[in-house]
Amino acid sequence: MTAANTPTTTLGKARRTALAVALLTGTALGGFAAGHLALAASDAAPAAQATQTAPAAPAVNAPSGAMMPDFADLVTRVKPAVVSITTKLDVRQTADEEGGPSMPFPMPFGMMPHGGQGHAVEARGSGFIVNANGTIVTNNHVVKDAKSVSVTLSDGTELPAKIVGRDPRTDLAVLKVSTPKPLPYIELGDSGKVRVGQWVVAMGNPFGLGGTVTAGIVSAEGRDIGSGPYDQFIQIDAPINQGNSGGPLFTQDGKVVGVNSAILSPTGGSVGIGFAIPSNLVKTVVAQLEATGHVTRGYLGVASQPLTEKMAKALNLKANEGALIASVNADGPAAKAGIQPGDVIQAVNGQNVTSPHDLAMDVAAAKPGTDAKLDILRNGDKQTVSVTLAEMPNDKVADAGSHAASKGKVGVALAPITPELRDRLDLPKNVKGAVVAEVQSGSPAEAAGIQQGDVIVGVGDKAVDGPEAAVKAIRAATKDEAGKNGALALRIIRDGQAAFVAVTLNEDGGANSAG
């Protein structure tokens, strides 16, 4: 059966959980510029030819007769495969309990729920059919916590829907409806071929107004909006509103290239900037949800952070590209392979890693049980480590006392981890280090963001087991090559999370007021 084209949908949760993206303000670009850009640049003429005029660079003209595209035929083909989704949910359910992407936005993209506190309410979103057998793709936040789900087809037919599977980490879900005859559907296209500036069309159920069409252009690719570890959104300027969540974003050839999931919304409403999950990611997730009801991903067992220029200096590294390992989970694949905090992963199976996001994407895409070759930097030396990846688990993972040591030039007073402090800071029994009892005002430590209650567990690549060891390691580090670079790397634990913090020093190891 010929696949129908899919429209883009607005980003937003179809429920009470706030999902409207509040990032930056901006205006939508709704038209096509028919003028031209004059690139008039000229080099200075030599003195001997000063009387001559340098030729102007040629103007770059827009195509003659450029017109706004007509989407009418395209919409006619696609519309039968786009559905409205109504979810009955209970407001007593808690939001974001699954540990999935927490969208930092004030409002969901679904229709605002109707009902009172503690009562079943309805929320509305969008979706699209991807198979004649009734398989439907939508956002996870549209159907999360659902007591029941129903789907309304473009002809008004209402059908009960079954949730086949949900993936909170990518905010995708698959539904299934049953009908006596095949349903019209649309195909998932290749989001890798999407180009910035091309026209795209979105279709969905904004504010409960089913079958609504909007159009715009792709304004950026690969956006990381901080909603989850696998962000690589297509940014679009098509108007997207509450209720568009889960709807398709499609190109002029009628192929779906994205699932709309969020909007940039300083006010809670649309300002013309939306974000869609790319179809190539959707294909992978939907295939697994259809087959098993869940998604299997590779698991390395590390927490990583960006390697900033300051941190690279603190670790005595020449380059600042890669994912800096802040902590290694005990008994995880990385620990078994010998990966250590302070290592910098620069490639996975030959694919360059420039950030923690790259590392998360590369590892998640690998099949559990397979070996991954990691190119790492350790103490400035390049190594290759082989790691057998596991399957990603479904769930994840202040004031201090006295007995302070001397503050020193970094500007912290350190205390041992007493049983009382261990309980107060909720530290595992195997954690060793020094508690930051006080941070000196105006010190390098304060400028770096060190806080009272942080636990220093390492200095550079060296672990410390108490205040004396920490002071000794800090003094040694400020005298070695790392200290000469003007920065000191402290590995801390705060609120159960490990991270490196770069402390900027003066040339003599003292405070740097600009740091």
Contacts of 422 (CB under 8 A, 6+ apart): 429, 431
Sign, CA dihedral 242-243-245-249, equals negative
CA atoms lying within 13 Å on the CB side of residue 356: 18
CB 248 within 8 A of CB 203: yes
CB 30 within 8 A of CB 271: no
Contacts of 439 (CB under 8 A, 6+ apart): 411, 412, 413, 445, 446, 450, 451, 452
Say which of 84, 141, 237, 358 is annotated catalytic. 141
Say which of 84, 191, 227, 245 is annotated catalytic. 245
Say which of 171, 343, 375, 454 is annotated catalytic. 171
Contacts of 73 (CB under 8 A, 6+ apart): none
> Which token pair is 277?
């999950």
105: left (phi over 0), alpha (psi -120 to 50) or beta: beta
CB 148 within 8 A of CB 121: no
Which helix (DSSP H) or strand (DSSP E) does residue 446 occupy?
Answer: helix 444-448
191 a catalytic residue: no
141 a catalytic residue: yes
119 a catalytic residue: no
Q: Which residue in this structure is represented by tokens 């261990």?
A: 422
CB atoms within 10 A of CB 420: 9
Contacts of 34 (CB under 8 A, 6+ apart): 62, 66
Could you list the active site residues? Answer: 141, 171, 245
